[in-house]
């Protein structure tokens, strides 16, 4: 049977609490990407040009 080279690190104490606070904060403040119709139209134009140049 193999002997593990290293144990699995586990956060404890203040470090674990800080990690959990930061995780919850990041989850609350998670951003979203909203594309305007203008952005979508620009993307479609770029893709059409790309298709014309790709054989």
For the record, the structure tokens of 32 come out as 């979203």
In whole angstroms, give the CA distance from residue 39 to residue 33.
12
Residue 9: the pLDDT is 85
Contact 19, 11 (CB under 8 A): yes
CB-based contact 24:16 (threshold 8 Å):
no
**Does the predicted model carry a pTM greater than 0.75?**
no
Q: Which residue has the higher pLDDT, 3 or 1?
A: 3
Residue 19 CB contacts under 8 Å (≥ 6 apart), including other chains: 11
pLDDT per position as a tens digit, 19-55: 999 999 999 888 877 889 999 999 999 998 888 776 5
Could you tell me the CA-to-CA distances from 52 to 4, 46, 48, 55 in Å, in that order? 56, 10, 6, 7
């Amino acid at each position: 049977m193999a002997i593990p080279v290293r144990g699995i690190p586990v956060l404890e104490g203040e470090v674990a609490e800080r990690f959990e606070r930061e995780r919850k904060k990041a989850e609350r403040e998670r951003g979203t990407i909203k594309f305007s119709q203008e952005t979508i139209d620009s993307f479609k134009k770029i893709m059409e040009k790309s298709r014309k140049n790709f054989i």
